[in-house]
Amino acid sequence: MSTNFNLKHLLGIRELSADQIVHLLDTAETFRDISKREIKKVPALRGRTVINLFFEASTRTRTSFEIAAKRLSADAVNISVSTSSVSKGETLLDTARNLQAMSPDCIVIRHSSAGAPYHLARACSAAIVNAGDGAHEHPTQALLDALTIREHKGRLEGLRVAIIGDILHSRVARSNIYLLSKLGASVSVAGPGTLVPAEFAGLIEQGVRLERRIEDAIVDADVVMILRMQRERQTDAFFPSMREYAVHYGLHLNHLSLAAPDAIVMHPGPMNRGIEISSEVADGGRSLILDQVTNGVAVRMAVLYLLAGAPGITEKPERQDVSDSTLRNGTVKKQRSRKRSLREEE
Amino acid sequence: MSTNFNLKHLLGIRELSADQIVHLLDTAETFRDISKREIKKVPALRGRTVINLFFEASTRTRTSFEIAAKRLSADAVNISVSTSSVSKGETLLDTARNLQAMSPDCIVIRHSSAGAPYHLARACSAAIVNAGDGAHEHPTQALLDALTIREHKGRLEGLRVAIIGDILHSRVARSNIYLLSKLGASVSVAGPGTLVPAEFAGLIEQGVRLERRIEDAIVDADVVMILRMQRERQTDAFFPSMREYAVHYGLHLNHLSLAAPDAIVMHPGPMNRGIEISSEVADGGRSLILDQVTNGVAVRMAVLYLLAGAPGITEKPERQDVSDSTLRNGTVKKQRSRKRSLREEE
Amino acid sequence: MSTNFNLKHLLGIRELSADQIVHLLDTAETFRDISKREIKKVPALRGRTVINLFFEASTRTRTSFEIAAKRLSADAVNISVSTSSVSKGETLLDTARNLQAMSPDCIVIRHSSAGAPYHLARACSAAIVNAGDGAHEHPTQALLDALTIREHKGRLEGLRVAIIGDILHSRVARSNIYLLSKLGASVSVAGPGTLVPAEFAGLIEQGVRLERRIEDAIVDADVVMILRMQRERQTDAFFPSMREYAVHYGLHLNHLSLAAPDAIVMHPGPMNRGIEISSEVADGGRSLILDQVTNGVAVRMAVLYLLAGAPGITEKPERQDVSDSTLRNGTVKKQRSRKRSLREEE
């Protein structure tokens, strides 16, 4: 495995190599322990500026990135851009250039338009992190999902993963399909509209198995991922009502009997209980939904650290963190053995 | 007095013992000086995460908690949940569990529903602080009020406190009544609806004297607390207009001649000048309204420190703060004599 | 030049002496380098509290002040007051007094009413910084503009500066006119309504040349400042439509041929491309629009440092920053030669 992590931005999983994904996951594993400490803080990004630029409301993702930045000692600045400010008339590129002129080290962007982070990346020398762009990608969600699977299954390769829900409009599904395919898992999907052939050409290329019925996708699955029914975006194109959706694509306990005996259940949140997932499943022993959230902070710490922090680690050799150097030079095995050495904040 | 402060959450004053209240006030007194320094910061909560989760808009209370957290060197994360996000469909418990999964040390919650903080406390291992829940309790307000009274009167026991305003719907009144009763003050109240007997059974149990006229409640009072007329919540149940309210329950200078000669006046803010309080009173020599705000920061520092910080104080013995140990082990007297020793932030 | 910077608040450029302006610019120059470092942080304002109190939405100015505060290690607290909270009935003075009671070192205020920062200054012992008050002043904008001009022209004295746009309603224009006049630049203006004589009496007193046509103002200009067309505030008083405005007061490449050969172009942002400025000009080689943003952070660091930090620098002599003392005691020349000595954050 390459230890040379050469990545300037995190725009999507599609552009990443399997090695880069594994390196991100390994780094995240290293950071997971920090949040379990009493002093949940390391000085890795001290003096760095991380801007959270959110054009869509998001409590949980923004909070996760903000906590990640602060636990790395970065200065975190939140910008919520409502449509009212956009009416002031500035283009996204001008917003990006202006923020860049304030010398941030990293800009985390969520935007309703697919591709918005790519625009930023062209205009900025700061590292750009895609926190969800339209129906395109949500790479840190896929990474935290993968970290959670690996934590519980020990691997991704060879696993069968079922993804249930509105695949076509889900950036979570898209990023997960890219990641799982790259790391050797096999993916089956079921949801409204999965029989529409044209839009799914790309999925089939990724080796994804399309099913019409949720049961067919779940059979023998090691992992069942339920997507959020995005009420707020839903048009009536594929199904007539919430109730209709719940009946056809809601995950219930009896579904799980079709899956592998030790199958795990995941959901990106926020959940619509009783619609895409029953409370028995959500709160059941197979559910890893809260582990996903915990791993989300670790993944975002890893992403911020690798993109915004790497070149600056050496500025104070006498106070340097052992694991900082292993993160840059060492092998993954070394990182793991030394992961407890990440120094606490002073 | 017990020096063993055994409290996991601060949900309401009702659940506290007199000893616990006094310990909170003593600790707050210790912290009050920090905000008077040039370097208004101590490292007590460095590496701790405090989330301010506000489901109701609140400039002043959120700012007070945020400043308190930052002066203790905690990482403060603000989450304002508008009704629009709630429409995403997640339950309060799921929101709580999700935040908990990000490993905060403390969650400060304001919510329009009475009891919301209790729900959080059941779902979270983080310390929960009630920053106001519906018409139920607002414990840090009662604590800062008590600190202000004690600062100016030297004690609470035996004092006569008049609370004027819409007692029935006021979480401020409720928390204050619990606290004042526990610490031996006697309370009289007057306001619209104070003759409605059923709802006040609980108040009478606390020993509260119900009056119909503001003058009757104020006679010989050592402390006059005026409640905010909550225009935004007001229905016409008890009085027909603002003007009507001002005439019957507005506090004027002439009212103060009925009170004790050295009576003090308090208001939780924000004030409606000319409605529940005249400017002559608000800006007069007896008004402690701004002292209350100052004490609010100190009280919130104490609450965050005692709930989120206590077990972590020992991690760096060589840099340990003298008053940290006194706060845990010493007597109140010791704390006071050493309160200047809280180390400055470096 | 005086090195004795005796200023408690920054309310407007009008009240500043030329010496004070130069001292602010020199200090900003010193701070500009900090944002170019890997560790973009100095401990100058550690333990100080800076409140950003914004009654008008502003992404860029608030972000600039927040980043400035954090790079100085201050605790930054953002308060956005929407009209809905104002409906709670508290006066601006009461808001100010309440914030003051939380012991901030500096309050940065943006408000839609001219003079609001002056009200705060009367109520607060904290340093007040005007971040834009109605159509009155926006002093940090004028300072960052001046810093940008000085950076590229080496001086302000003797320069010809053209300001194009809705001068009458622009706080940016007003602050710039004061500053440029004080430092010996000559100013010409053109824009809708510039023939209205009464309102411009004050401008003429400042030595400003009023022109009707944009071309007449630009002739031989060393600096061309384009104002933002404030769509959101625009009434139809002076021109009938956006298109009308663009035709008469939009800056195009051909205009620049009238200016001095090495003329520079500035805009306070956010830009309405195609209205007050063409993209050819905005993105052209003469545009310093992004340099203005970069200098904005430096100017705000200087302002916060000089107003909130000066007396506190000596509290820890053994860790004192060399440039801290030069900033207080030394000459400007000394400051410059030592500007690299501002210690990094540890």
Q: What is the pLDDT of residues C127-147, one digit of tens each?
A: 999 999 999 999 999 999 999
Joined together, the tokens standing for residue B344 give 């400055």
Residues linked to residue C186 through DSSP beta bridges, in sequence order: C160
**Residue C91 confidence (pLDDT) above 50:** yes
- Interface chains of chain A (3 or more CB pairs under 8 Å): B, C
Residue C236, pLDDT > 60, answer: no
Q: Which residues of C touch B60 (CB under 8 A)?
A: 98
Q: Is C234 a residue whose pLDDT tops 90?
A: no
Alpha helices for chain C (secondary structure H): 18-32, 59-71, 83-86, 92-100, 116-123, 139-153, 171-182, 201-205, 214-218, 242-249, 253-256, 279-282, 289-304, 322-329, 332-337
- The token pair at A268 is 């990106």
Sign of the dihedral through C-alpha C6, C10, C15, C19 = positive
Task: Give the separation between CA A36 and CA A294, rounded to whole angstroms.
Answer: 10
Question: How far is C82 from C24, CA to CA, in rounded Å?
Answer: 32
The Cα–Cα gap between B52 and B239 comes to 35
Chains near B, with 3+ CB pairs < 8 A?
Answer: A, C
Question: β-strands B160-164, B186-190: how paired?
Answer: parallel
Q: Which pLDDT belongs to residue C330?
A: 33
Burial of C19 per CB tally in 10 Å (0-12, 13-18, 19+):
middle
Using CA coordinates, name the residue in chain A closest to B310: A38
User: Hunting for tokens 């008050």 — which residue is that?
Assistant: C133
Cβ contact, residue pair B51, A60, below 8 Å: no
Interface of B with A in 277-316 (CB under 8 A): 311-312, 315-316
Q: How many CB contacts within 8 angstroms connect chain A with chain C?
A: 89
Give me the residue from A232, A291, A344 closest to B47, CB to CB: A344
Model pLDDT, residue A310: 60
Query: Over the stretch A159-183, which tens digit does the pLDDT of each residue have?
Result: 999 999 988 889 999 999 999 999 9
Q: How far is CA A170 from the centre of its chain?
A: 13
Vertex C128: Cα angle to C124 and C129 (nearest 5): 165
For B194, the 3-state DSSP assignment is coil
B329, amino acid identity: N
Read off the pLDDT band of B325 (50, 70, 90). Answer: very low
Beta-carbon separation of C39 and A46 below 8 A = yes
| CA nearest to C181, candidates C17, C3, C8 | C17
The pLDDT, as a whole number, for residue C247 is 87
Tokens describing residue C118: 């002056």
- Please tell me if residue A343 touches chain B, with a CB cutoff of 8 Å: no
Give all strands (DSSP E) within chain B, no chain letters.
49-54, 75-80, 106-111, 127-133, 160-164, 186-190, 209-211, 223-226, 264-266
- Report percent pLDDT > 70 for chain C: 81
Sign of CA dihedral A163, A166, A169, A170: negative
Max Cα separation, chain C? Answer: 64
Contact list in C for residue B232 (CB cut-off 8 A) is 87-88
Supply the DSSP symbol for A222. S
Which chain A residue shows the shortest CA-CA distance from B314? A38
Q: Which residue has the higher pLDDT, C233 or B43?
A: B43
Burial of C60 (0-12, 13-18, 19+ CB in 10 A): buried
Does the beta-carbon distance from C88 to B35 stay under 8 Å? no
Quickly count: other Cβ atoms within 10 Å of residue A8's Cβ. 12
Distance from CA of A88 to the nearest CA of C (A): 7
φ and ψ at C191, to 5 degrees? 175, 175
* Contacts (Cβ under 8 Å, ≥6 apart) of A266: A145, A148, A149, A223, A224, A225, A226, A287, A288, A289, A292
CA-CA-CA-CA torsion for A343, A346, B5, B6, nearest 10 degrees? -20
Instruction: Give C-chain residues touching B40 at CB under 8 angstroms.
Output: 47-49, 103, 105
Residue B342, number of CB atoms within 10 A of its CB: 20
What gap in Å lies between CA B216 and CA B258, rounded to an integer?
A: 9
- With 0-12 / 13-18 / 19 or more C-beta atoms within 10 angstroms meaning exposed / middle / buried, residue B155 is exposed
Q: Which residue of A has its CA nearest to B105?
A: A38
A254 and chain C in contact, CB less than 8 A: no
The 10s digit of each residue's pLDDT in A113-162 is 999 999 999 999 999 999 999 999 999 999 999 999 999 999 999 999 99
Residues in CB range of A225: below 8 A, 6 or more apart: A145, A161, A162, A163, A164, A173, A176, A265, A266, A267, A268
Q: Which helix (H) or strand (E) holds A107?
A: strand A106-111
State yes or no: pLDDT of C84 exceeds 80. Answer: no
CA A137 to chain centre: 9
- Interface check B77 vs A, CB under 8 A: yes
Residue C96 CB-half CA count within 13 A: 23
Who among B35, B270, B344 is closest to C88 (CB)?
B270
Rounded to the nearest angstrom, the gap between the alpha carbon of residue B188 and the centroid of all alpha carbons in its chain is: 19
A244 forms bridges with which residues in the sheet? none
pLDDT at C312: 39
What is the arithmetic mean of pLDDT over B38-49?
Answer: 96
CA atoms within 13 A on the CB side of B294: 17
User: What integer pLDDT is reported at residue A233 of this predicted model?
Assistant: 58
* Chains sharing 3 or more CB pairs under 8 A with chain C: A, B
Burial A314-337 (b: 16+ CB within 10 A, else e): eeeeeeebebbebbbebebebbee
Measured CA to CA, the distance from residue C33 to residue C29 in angstroms comes to: 8
The two three-digit tokens of residue A92, written as one number: 């996204």
Q: Give the closest of A66, A270, A345 to B46, CB-based.
A: A345
> Hey, are the CB atoms on C38 and A87 less than 8 Å from each other?
no
B270–C87 CB contact, under 8 Å: no
> CA B269, B274, B275: angle at the middle one, nearest 5?
70
Residue carrying structure tokens 């616990």: B20
Task: Determine contact, residues A51/A104, Cβ cutoff 8 Å.
Answer: yes
CB contact set of C25 (below 8 Å; sequence gap of 6+): C143, C146, C147, C150, C299, C302
Residue A55 CA to residue A116 CA, distance in Å, equals 10
The mean pLDDT of C276-287, rounded to a whole number, is 96
Give the rounded distance of the alpha carbon of A8 from its chain centre: 17
Which carries the bigger pLDDT value, residue B320 or residue C157?
Answer: C157
> Letter for the amino acid at A3?
T
Burial of B202 (0-12, 13-18, 19+ CB in 10 A): exposed
Q: How far is CA C90 from the centre of its chain?
A: 29
Q: What is the pLDDT of residue A40?
A: 96
Q: Does A83 touch chain C (CB under 8 A)?
A: no
Q: Quick one: CA torsion of A60, A65, A66, A70, rounded to 10 degrees? A: 140
| CA C170 – CA A146 distance, rounded (Å) | 53
- Of B38, B41, B293, nearest to C102 by CB-CB distance is B293
Alpha carbons B109 and B56: distance in angstroms, whole number:
9
Residue-level length of chain C = 346
Average pLDDT over residues B130-157: 97
Kind of pairing, strands C106-111 and C49-54? parallel
Q: Which of A39, A60, A64 sits opposite B315 (nearest CB)?
A: A39
pTM summary value = 0.89
Mean pLDDT of the region C310-320: 39
pLDDT value of residue C203: 77
Using CA coordinates, name the residue in chain B closest to C314: B38
Round to whole Å and give the CA distance between C333 and C337: 6
Among candidates B77, B91, B97 on the partner chain, residue whose Cβ is nearest the Cβ of A67 = B77
How far does B207 lie from chain C, in Å, by closest CA?
Answer: 33
On whether the CB atoms of residues A43 and A343 are closer than 8 A, the answer is yes
Angle at which helices A289-304 and A18-32 cross, to 10°: 110
A75/C297 touch (CB, cutoff 8 Å), yes or no: no
Tell me the C-alpha distance between A23 and A306, whole Å.
10
Does B94 contact A at CB distance below 8 Å?
yes
Nearest-angstrom CA–CA distance, C41 and C35:
8
| Phi, psi for residue C137 in degrees, rounded to 5 | -145, 160
Q: pLDDT of B270-316, one tens digit each?
A: 999 999 999 999 999 999 999 999 999 999 999 999 999 865 333 33
Over 90: is that where the pLDDT of B4 sits?
A: no
> How many angstroms from the chain centroid is the CA of residue A119?
20
Buried b (16+ CB within 10 A) or exposed e, B232-257: eebeeebbeebeebbeebbbeeebbe
pLDDT in tens, B89-134: 688 999 999 999 999 999 999 999 999 999 999 999 999 999 999 9
pLDDT computed for residue A157 by the predictor = 98
Residues in chain A, pLDDT under 70: 1-4, 83-89, 194-199, 231-240, 310-346
- Among C28, C7, C10, C6, smallest CA distance to C107 is for C10
